[in-house]
A and B are shown apart, each in its own frame.
Chain A
């Protein structure tokens, strides 16, 4: 069974600060996705990374996939209260296969 360790589990910061969330595994994934979930709703896909070493940017969010495709990070610049939510990383063994989820990072950005 592949496992994804996500850290930190909880993060409370002030508006304007930067933060990084990490997702690590001893297994190789064919792809890794990052999701954001708000209370009472399903997760919403933010990005999919598939190539080792690739970096993708989505406005203030920067996603990186490790060279060995075992780890990933999400960096948020100048966090805003609207960024508050549960961030989940998830790895896929093959295209369209079951996903393995990390434990999640509950982010709170205080105004």
Chain B
């Protein structure tokens, strides 16, 4: 499968500030990346589909003006949490799809733990 790098792995920010999370596909040109959010002890919830060179597609209930997604190149997508609040604290994970045969599937980044204080 693809190799995905996500940065930072954790971040603490003050309420009202913005935080940018990067997702890089290191060995695969990803026209599409996905951004997920995960709360403790829960499964992944898709937030948006990031499309290279065009606007992201957001899932119902996800505020596009709060979670800004930029997919400016085939190897980089960024998620910016604007005016963060404590309820935005969560584990954010990106993924790309790739691989071959038996291992075809989605490769996930290592995740970013966001804590808003």
Q: How many residues of A contact B (CB 8 A)?
A: 23
Q: How far is the CB of A101 from chain B (nearest CB, A)?
A: 5
Q: How many residues of B contact A (CB 8 A)?
A: 28
Q: Does B67 contact A (CB under 8 A)?
A: no
CB-defined contacts of A47 to chain B, threshold 8 Å? 102
CB-defined contacts of A6 to chain B, threshold 8 Å? 43
Give the interface segment out of A12-20, A38-46, A69-77.
Answer: A38-46
CB-defined contacts of B45 to chain A, threshold 8 Å? 101
Kindly state the separation between the CA atoms of A41 and B93 in the bound complex, as whole angstroms. Answer: 9
Complex interface bits, B30-58 against A, C-beta within 8 A gives 1, otherwise 0:
00101000000111111001000000000
Give the interface segment out of B11-19, B71-79, B105-113.
Answer: B105-113
Taking a contact as CB atoms under 8 Å apart, the answer to whether A48 and B49 are in contact is no
Kindly state the separation between the CA atoms of A34 and B34 in the bound complex, as whole angstroms. Answer: 17
**Most B C-beta atoms less than 10 A away, residue of A6, A33, A42:** A42
Contacts between chains A and B (CB distance < 8 A), count: 56
Kindly state the separation between the CA atoms of A104 and B45 in the bound complex, as whole angstroms. Answer: 12
Taking a contact as CB atoms under 8 Å apart, the answer to whether A103 and B46 are in contact is no
Please report which residues of chain A, range 38-61, place their CB below 8 angstroms from some CB of chain B when the two chains form the complex: 40-45, 47-48, 56
Kindly state the separation between the CA atoms of A47 and B102 in the bound complex, as whole angstroms. Answer: 7
CB-defined contacts of B25 to chain A, threshold 8 Å? none
Kindly state the separation between the CA atoms of A42 and B43 in the bound complex, as whole angstroms. Answer: 11
CB-defined contacts of B34 to chain A, threshold 8 Å? 98-99
Taking a contact as CB atoms under 8 Å apart, the answer to whether A42 and B6 are in contact is yes
Q: A41-B111, A42-B93, A42-B111 are in contact. Are A99 and B46 (CB under 8 A)?
A: yes
Q: A45-B1, A88-B44 are in contact. Are A40 and B111 (CB under 8 A)?
A: yes
Taking a contact as CB atoms under 8 Å apart, the answer to whether A88 and B43 are in contact is yes
Q: Which residue of A lies closest to B49 (CB)?
A: A98
